[in-house]
């Protein structure tokens, strides 16, 4: 706009000079034609620049609108992702609440009685930290329990809760690695189906649907009667 005003001012200035010279008789016919041509040229370029500036202004406005639209879309997708993750976590929580004796059998008194008092204290303290949301402390506690218990009872459980803690902290690759370690080391553990299902959720939320379906199908194939298999079947619909 500033350039346009400058060119317009130049046109007016030259026009004023031309009129002054005509009035004073100082302008020959040839010079008059030259000045007229220059004025026409200035008018042409003024209009051309005005047109370019108008196009540029429209493009900038369109870019601003596009940026606002894309920002809004990203915000909506982020909200949807959080909502879906919350729903998944709620489903899992409700599932574990309904498991009853089969789930409680993992940590029944008979199993806990096989653990030394020191190791048992480490496990219970770590689990309390997990429930409270102190995930880093939970990871540290479960790792200490693993060292204390070696290959004793609930080591697979400890590994599972380490994976859950990493997932809660947003360290998803570490969570996947931990769940995979559980599957590899303790293939007969009752924690394998939820570990596989959790890996499916992580990949799905990350946009890798192919890998997510792989883990969902693995749950259905290897553990068809598990509660996680029911959830996995719903995911594959």
Question: pLDDT by residue for the chain (237 residues), tens digit each?
Answer: 555 565 566 556 555 655 555 555 555 555 555 656 666 666 666 776 777 777 777 788 888 887 877 777 777 776 676 666 656 655 655 554 444 434 444 454 556 667 888 888 999 999 999 999 999 999 999 999 999 887 778 899 999 999 999 999 999 999 999 999 999 999 999 999 999 999 999 999 999 999 999 999 999 999 999 999 999 998 877
Question: Among residues 168, 221, 167, which one has the least CA distance to residue 192?
Answer: 221
So what's the pLDDT on residue 120?
87
Q: Determine the number of helices (DSSP H) and then strands (DSSP E) in the chain.
A: 11, 0
Radius of gyration over alpha carbons of the chain, in Å?
Answer: 37
110 to 101, 107, 142, 188: CA distances (angstroms)? 13, 8, 20, 19
- Token couple for 99: 């498991």
So what's the pLDDT on residue 91?
60
Greatest distance between any 2 Cα atoms in the chain: 120
- Token couple for 31: 């010079």
So what's the pLDDT on residue 4?
53
Report the first-to-last Cα separation within the chain, whole angstroms: 59
CATH number for 79-113+151-235 (one of 3.40.120.10, 1.10.3720.10, 3.40.50.720, 1.25.40.10): it is: 1.25.40.10
Give the separation between CA 88 and CA 194, rounded to whole angstroms.
12
Contact 205, 81 (CB under 8 A): yes
* Residue boundaries of the structural domains of the chain: 2-76, 79-113+151-235
75 to 67, 69, 70, 84, 203: CA distances (angstroms)? 12, 10, 9, 14, 21
So what's the pLDDT on residue 13?
59
């Amino acid at each position: 706009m500033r350039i346009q005003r400058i060119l317009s001012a130049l046109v007016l200035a030259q026009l004023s000079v031309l009129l002054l010279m005509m009035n004073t008789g100082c302008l020959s016919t040839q010079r008059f034609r030259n000045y007229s041509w220059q004025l026409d040229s200035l008018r042409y370029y003024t209009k051309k620049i005005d047109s370019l500036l108008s196009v540029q202004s429209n493009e900038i406005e369109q870019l601003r609108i596009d940026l606002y639209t894309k920002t809004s879309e990203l915000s909506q997708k982020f909200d949807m992702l959080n909502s879906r993750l919350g729903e998944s976590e709620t489903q899992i929580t409700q599932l574990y609440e309904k498991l009853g004796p089969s789930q409680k059998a993992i940590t029944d008194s008979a199993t806990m009685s096989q653990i030394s008092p020191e190791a048992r204290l480490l496990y219970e303290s770590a689990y309390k930290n997990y429930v409270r949301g102190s995930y880093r402390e939970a990871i540290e506690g479960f790792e200490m329990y693993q060292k204390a218990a070696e290959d004793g009872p609930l080591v697979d459980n400890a590994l599972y809760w380490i994976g859950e803690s990493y997932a809660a902290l947003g360290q998803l690759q570490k969570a996947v690695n931990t769940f995979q370690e559980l599957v590899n080391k303790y293939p007969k553990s009752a924690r394998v189906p939820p570990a596989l299902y959790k890996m499916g959720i992580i990949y799905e939320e990350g946009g890798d649907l192919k890998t997510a379906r792989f883990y969902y199908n693995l749950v259905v194939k290897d553990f068809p009667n598990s509660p996680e298999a029911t959830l996995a079947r719903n995911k594959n619909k």
